[in-house]
Structure 1
Amino acid sequence: MTETAHTARAVERDCPDCGERVPDGGQYVTWCTACDWNVDPGHQEEPPGRVERIRRRLARRYGEQLHAEFAAPAAGATPGTGAGRPRRGVPGGLAAALAVAVHGVTAALLAGGLWLLVARWGSGALPFLGGLLIALAVLLRPRFGSLAKAAGDRPVLRRPDAPRLFALLDEVAGSVGTTGVRAVVVDSEVNASVTAYGVRQHRLLRLGLGLWEVLTPQERIALLGHEFGHYAHGDTRRSLLVGNAFRSLETWRYTLAPQRAESLAEHFVNVVTAPPRWLVDGVLVLLEHLTLRESQRAEYLADSTAARAAGTEAAAGLMDRILVSDGVTGALHREAVAARTRIGGGGARREDPAEGLWERIAAHAASVPEREYERLRRVAERRGHQVDSTHPPTHLRHRLLSAGAPGGALIVLDAERVAAIDAELADTRQRAARELVGR
């Protein structure tokens, strides 16, 4: 994250607000560090819905409260280490009870639908209503997921395919107090996550090369440490019971969402569905209240496991990479567009756009100057930037990780291991690059 030669030679100008000297940002935004002039130019965002507004407000409030709590640890503890497990307590118990009630409604729909069909009440609409209730219950049912659905047409790696990668995953998982994964799905997304699938809840790593390739080796350890940290510390929202309750409620919201009314009948349907829609929104907001604080606590704890596994500097660096993820996504999009227009004489492509794609993306991320990172941190603080509504504000996560003396790493990736893992991923990297550019 060093200043590029272009930035070093940039022409300065006077800030129109405070008069301080401001270097020209070149391909990045020109802004003033003294007064924040032009720090967030042209920001426009589609207004979120009612439930999403509540989620964001709660996430920001809880994120700030928990930051203050973690930033003032017990005597002798290192700031930002976040010792301890999420305290589920009464809110966790109430959330579980509410989730049982949500699934109880699904079970009641199924039972009622079967009863209407089996009882054969007349030849009118009752059998049809029974079938409708059964279909709705099937739609709302808890989902266990499957590897096939999670992977789609993306490549799946298992232990024999990438033994050095899986050895690293086991090592990181063991360092944070949990177990590794059964499979790895590789795609080109600027993201990564560890999820579970099947009745036995086997673990799956979704590895987005758009993120993996722009990270340093230690930042990769931090990424894995964070994702495994969710399972080491626990997270109510990731449990089968509560997680499926959220999915069922979101399905209810989609089903009951008001439609654009162009007739009296459509207006009538919107009016009739309004009370159950409000009820669903109320239950969803209540479940958010009961789980969001402890979910954010789990995020901070996952950050602390990332710092212990990879070192605090690498964990803080990962937060910075998250801030530039939109820029990386834009670079990937430009690569895909350029691949479709890079035509030579006679209509033939001049080169293979998939070759060296990940190296170009990594070089793009590495060229981002420190001044741009600082701007993005300030923008994040202004907007209350989060990865999503379940995460604490990114700038608070970065601030907590950067507090105090830097901590060492339990796991250090040397050049030999990095090269061995890259070699195991070579085929999937090439395949993902070709799919991205349409080759």
Structure 2
Amino acid sequence: MPDEPEPDRIERLRRTLAHRYGEQLFADLAAPGADGPAASHRTGGAALLATVLALTVHGLTVGLAVLGLWLLVARWGEGLQPAVGGLLLALAFVLRPRFGRARKELSELPFLERADAPRLFALIDEIGAGVGTRGVDLVVLDASVNASVGAYGIRRRRVLVLGMPLWATLDPQERIALLGHEIGHYAHGDTRHGFLVGSALGSLDTWRYMLARSDDGDTLSDTFINVLTALPRWAVHGLTVLLDGATLRATQRAEYLADGAAAHTAGHAAAVAVLQRQFVSRSIDSALRREVVGARTRVGGRTRREVQAEGLWERVAAEVRTVPEREYERLRRVAELRGHCVDSTHPPTHLRIRNLERGEPRPPALALAPDRAAALDAELAAPAHKVAALVLRDGEV
């Protein structure tokens, strides 16, 4: 569980835009006619611009491939041109759009399909039907203090990633809210996470990595390379900024709508409680770190991690439950002063809470009965224990 790296220029810009768009969208959603023609026009115009920019990025990749192939075939035997062609083809291959894959064979994490966790998938299907979409094809459990959804493969199979430290701190109804939020992303769409735009952002990130300025030394070769790559580096930087600007507002809006799906599914109180848990994410992480350190001490000639994986998540959850209500309120005030986001694509957390609280409370569309919650816990016990053993063994997953 390493500390987060220092954000680069693009990441800092994204966080700034996250705060700005989050505040603007909160004001828009609170205004009459928030989902009217004007809002649709803004969203549609940004989506069109994002599509054009994404096609431009992929067009550059195709251009590299075509030019490389021409130099390799048509100019065979003419000096260095075939070698340059091969280099361009290799570069185009690196920058190609990626469909992604589950990579089960490369990970020890639990990858759950319907046969592995029928109760969990039935619950996800029920939540999906309630928000107007289908469920997921795969669930992955890990040790992150987070949850997320995505898609992979040519068929764009849906995957839900559940972080066990977060899941363990939630009560049954809050877990419904968490699932409602994540599945709500599929219902409302998100241009930034679609294949066309998402793969274009991935290609731009690869460009940025390859063209990054060398600051390791002040040799003549470093200076020459930095000067040579300056123009394409700034061109990629500009394309990234434009694509970010065209997609971040829609992504922020999708987060607010997903919060609404959580409130509809599990009730306003549960949806707000899940958001408030983000204020103490550092406490959750710290509790897990202490468990990792404790598991590496020796008792009776053997490491404690052999026995400490049992009940790990319950101990982390119990420690988080000791955080008093006044601390949550203090952290919320700090968030309002300094700003708090899950990451650079989310609106400020306190605005998300205020957006939910301004709505009229309604009963949850789905309530998880105690016997059903207990059966779900029993179903996830074995894979959750596997994640616990991995995090205690490696210190990170």
TM-score bin (small chain) = over 0.9
Cα deviation, residue 389, structure 1: 1.1
Q: Is the 8 A contact 2:51 2:196 kept in 1?
A: yes
For the pair 1:185 / 2:140, whether they are aligned, the reply is yes
Supply the distance in 2 between the matched residues of 1:262 and 1:136 (Cα, whole angstroms). Answer: 27
Structure number with higher helix proportion: 2
Output the CA distance in 2 between the equivalents of 1:48 and 1:382.
Answer: 21
Instruction: In structure 2, list runs of 5 or more residues that go unmatched.
Output: none
Partner residue, 1:18? none
Letter in 2 for 1:265: S
The equivalent of 1:12 in structure 2 is none
Q: Separation in 2 of the partners of 1:402 and 1:149?
A: 40
Q: Could you tell me which amino acid in structure 1 is paired with residue 221 of structure 2?
A: A
Counterparts of 2:311 and 2:385 in 1: how far apart (Å)? 9
Take 1:287 and 1:350, find their aligned partners in 2: how far apart are those partners? Answer: 46
- Residue by residue over 1:56-91, the C-alpha shift from the partner in whole angstroms, topping out at 9 and shown as x without a partner, is 22211111111112223459x9xxxxxx98963121
Aligned twin of 1:386? 341
- Secondary structure of the 1:306 match is helix
Deviations 1:164-209 (A, max 9, x none): 1110000111111111011111122211111111101010111111
Counterpart residue identity of residue 21, structure 2: Y
Aligned to 2:279: 323
What's the secondary structure of 1:425's corresponding residue? helix
Aligned to 1:162: 117
Note the 1:4-403 alignment, pairs <5 A: 48-73=7-32, 88-122=43-77, 124-148=79-103, 152-260=107-215, 261-341=217-297, 343-346=298-301, 349=304, 352-403=307-358
Question: How far off its partner does 1:347 sit?
Answer: 5.3
The alignment covers a number of residue pairs equal to 387
- How big is the shift at 1:51? 2.2
Evaluate the alpha carbon distance shift between residue 145 and residue 86 of structure 1 in structure 2; reply closer, same or farther with a 3 A threshold. Answer: farther
Instruction: Show the counterpart of 1:424.
Output: 379
Percent identity, aligned pairs only?
58
1:345/1:199 CA distance change after superposition, 3 Å: closer
In 1, Cα distance between equivalents of 2:131 and 2:163: 22
Change (3 A) 1:419 1:350: closer
CA 1:120 to 1:224, structure 2 compared with 1: closer, same or farther past 3 Å? same
Query: Secondary structure of the residue that 2:159 maps to in structure 1?
Result: strand
- For 2:105 and 2:186, the matched residues in 1 are separated by 19
Residue segments in structure 1 that go unaligned for 5+ positions in a row: 1-44, 78-83
Distance 1:150 1:170, change over 3 A: farther
Deviation at 1:407, TM superposition (A): 2.2
Q: Distance in 1 between matches of 2:191 and 2:305?
A: 53
Q: Secondary structure at the match of 2:139?
A: strand
Deviation string 1:24-76 (CA, Å, 9 cap, x unpaired) is: xxxxxxxxxxxxxxxxxxxxx9874332232222211111111112223459x
Query: Is the CA contact (8 Å cut-off) linking 1:296 and 1:390 kept in structure 2?
Result: yes
Q: 1:422 to 1:349 in 2, by over 3 A?
A: closer
TM-score (norm 2): 0.92
Q: Distance in 2 between matches of 1:277 and 1:394?
A: 33
Q: Separation in 2 of the partners of 1:433 and 1:365?
A: 17
CA distance in 2, matches of 1:101, 1:324: 41
Structure number, greater radius of gyration: 1
1:258 alignment partner, SS class: coil
Aligned match of 1:438: 393
Which shifted more, 117-126 or 423-432?
Answer: 117-126
Give the secondary structure class of the aligned counterpart of 2:108: coil
Q: Which amino acid aligns with 2:161?
A: R
Q: Secondary structure at the match of 2:136?
A: coil
Aligned residue identity for 1:279:
A
Shift of the 192–356 alpha-carbon distance from structure 1 to 2, 3 Å rule, reads same
- Name the CA shift for 1:423/1:48 in 2 (closer, same or farther; >3 Å): closer
Q: CA deviation at 1:150?
A: 9.4
Residue deviations 1:298-338, cap 9 Å, x none? 11011101100010100000011111112111111110110
SS in 2 for 1:196: strand
Judge conservation of contact 1:184–1:206 (CA < 8 Å) in 2. yes
